Structure 1
Amino acid sequence: MADFPSKVVTETSSPHSQSSHQGGSSLRGLATSVTTRMDMSFVRSIPAMLMVAETVTGLLHWALIAGANYMDEPAYGWVMFVAVTLWILTTILFLILLLSVPQRLAVVPWAMTVMMYNGVATLLYLTAFLTNAATVNVFKDQNFYGHFGAAAVRPLIR
């Protein structure tokens, strides 16, 4: 026991890490302080699976409209805006939940935030559906009539 203090090393940093903090161009100190942790239990949950399904069908929804000549009818600008915006926001929300951001930002009421997002998204998808369904007959004699008909059904899947 008498020789224990002589075996203790009190050095807390290496010479390489001090040079990077003293004006070096390396970002090692920043990279080591940021830790990303994926929540694998979230990936297997029902909300995550529903978000993945919503992302896939949302991509199909706006791809069907973008693949056709939707500029002939101004109402499809709204449908396209809703489809793309909510697809991007759903993807961002999925990544936020996947990377365990709610555990790091506990000041945000995440349950209320997700509930409000889903409520607003439902209302926007409903308006997009009504707009799309009301104007689909304009394209009845064109080749991509089926695209708009299929896109009108997609918001109902939410």
Structure 2
Amino acid sequence: MILGLLQWALIASAPYTSLSAYGWVMFVAITLWILTTILFFMILFSAPQKLTAVPWPLTVMAYDAIATVLYLTAFLANAASVHPFIITYFYGHMAAAAFFGALVTLMYGASAFFSYLEWRGDGGNAATSTVPT
């Protein structure tokens, strides 16, 4: 959540309307940050225990996978649009936003991977499944 906030704050602090690619980056960054914050508070306040009809591991895995793909496209658009000679004053903001976009993409990818493991697993941890009883 913090990396996503840093990325969209960096994009918002620069003239992101100068290139259409930055509009996509801004849309993805803000939308997914808001949705991730909502999902975080839902899990924090035990919504999975109250809403048992929702397959939460599958839902979180699908959300993380979709967020990974969207952030990958936004990162690529951001990184391809960073030119040091076009907008020289905000070059550092756009380059830093591309860097944080890459980090957020990796974080969503790792979260999708671990969500997949939780979805496919039996719900136990490694210590209980490897110790003979």
TM tier, shorter chain?
0.7 to 0.9
Which of 28, 39, 52 is equivalent to 1:82? 28
Shift of residue 156, structure 1, vs aligned partner: 1.8
Residue identity over aligned pairs, in percent, reads 60
Amino acid at match of 1:56: I
TM-score normalised according to structure 1 size: 0.63
Greater helix percent: which structure?
2
1:3-152 aligned at under 5 Å gives the runs 55-137=1-83, 140-152=86-98
2:86 and 2:61 map into 1 onto residues whose CA distance is: 38
- Once the two structures are superposed, what CA deviation does each residue of 1:36-88 show, in whole Å capped at 9, x if it has no partner? xxxxxxxxxxxxxxxxxxx1111110000000111110110000000000100
**CA-atom RMSD in angstroms:** 1.2
TM-score normalised according to structure 2 size: 0.75
2:131: which partner in 1?
none
Amino acid at match of 2:77: T
**Aligned residues between the structures:** 104
Amino acid at match of 1:61: Q
Compared CA separation, residues 138 and 71, structure 1 to 2 (3 A):
farther
1:70 and 1:138 map into 2 onto residues whose CA distance is: 15
Between 1 and 2, higher relative CO (CA 8 Å, sep ≥ 6) is seen in: 2
Structure 1 unaligned segments of length 5 or more: list them: 1-54
Shift of residue 155, structure 1, vs aligned partner: 2.2
Question: Which moves more between the two structures, 55-64 or 130-139?
Answer: 130-139
